[in-house]
Amino acid sequence: MKITDLRATTVAVPLEAPLRHANGCHWGRFVRTIVEVETDTGLVGLGEMGGGGESAVAGIRALKAYLVGRDPARLEEMRFLLANPTASLYNNRTQMVAAIEFACLDLMGQAWGVPVCDILGGRVRDRVTFASYVFYRYAAANGDGTIRTIDQVVEFARAMKAAHGFTTHKMKGGVFHPDYELDCYRALAAAFPGDRFRFDPNGVWSTEQAIRFGRGIEDLDNDYLEDPVFGLAGMRSARERLRVPLATNTVVVNFEQLAANVLHRAVDVILLDTTFWGGIRACVKAAGVCETFQLGVAVHSSGELGIQLATMLHLGAVVPNLSFAADAHYHHLE
């Protein structure tokens, strides 16, 4: 089987309502780029990456000359061809390599008649649990969907639990003052006794604010506090003063940063994102390092559509040391 063509198509999928976060807002849609890898057998594999538009499509299109004629099963050869240290220094190709890897794994699964998790070593679990994701939200175009008050936060989480059975709840912060978000988070935890909780302000707080917030939730059933500050130094300073585990998908997203965290512990839980890390295989490798050094592992969500959600499921199925429910944005899509 040989690769004969490589295509990219940007899509925009509507959200129920705009999702607010520390960097602004997801304004009513997720923009993603779908990657198709076609072979001489007629099979087509599908991948997905974040963002879109002319730059994403052109970036994928530029890789076609490297890939046509190659065996999609030779993933490590392709990874080094496209994203070796020098190429990565001059070109941010990590997400593009991830999308191509997804498509090639899809091709192998189709050709061999097996699920991707079997190609990755075989599943160790048959079910991967997910957490609800509670955002502050602006109103949708029809005026519905606002989440701003404590009652609205709890009402949304209650509706998601009723619809999907969630027993873990993640709240996105970094929008209002930390004291108000602390009140919202504590109300959320009080509404669902026996469930688990996690909070993520996207690294927007000062170390002092992170410590104040973290101490204010130490009595709750927390999975972790995710990226309360930015940078390994800030996370290390906060971790030294808190009894809540700290997690990240921001300051440990490659193997050099993972090594730095092993040598000088700043983060307890590594959130593995199949696009940010450059593919499912890189995440499996990182999970092995985490297992060796007793770091927790969870599956991160970066605003996925169905293709990346499938990669998250396969990752969750094969990682033996997966310690937590996976994140997902998928239930915010219309």
C-alpha distances out from residue 118 to 62, 104, 108, 273, Å: 31, 14, 11, 20
**Three-class secondary structure of residue 145 per DSSP:** coil
- H or E segment and range at residue 226: strand 222-226
Active site residue 169: no
Q: Which entry of 170, 172, 314, 329 is annotated as an active-site residue?
A: 172
Quote the CA–CA distance of 52 and 32 in Å, as a whole number: 5
Place of tokens 């499509």: 57
* DSSP character at residue 273: -
* DSSP character at residue 206: -
Please, are residues 238 and 214 in contact by the beta-carbon 8 Å criterion? yes
Quote the CA–CA distance of 193 and 134 in Å, as a whole number: 17
Quote the CA–CA distance of 147 and 61 in Å, as a whole number: 40
Active site residue 64: no
Quote the CA–CA distance of 201 and 277 in Å, as a whole number: 21
Q: Which entry of 170, 300, 329, 332 is annotated as an active-site residue?
A: 300
Hey, what long-range contacts does 30-34 have (CB within 8 A, 24 or more apart)? Answer: 30/303, 30/305, 30/329, 30/333, 32/303, 32/304, 32/305, 32/308, 33/8, 33/9, 33/57, 33/60, 33/99, 34/8, 34/9, 34/10, 34/305, 34/307
User: Quick one: CA dihedral 205, 206, 212, 215, positive or negative?
Assistant: positive
Active site residues: 172, 300
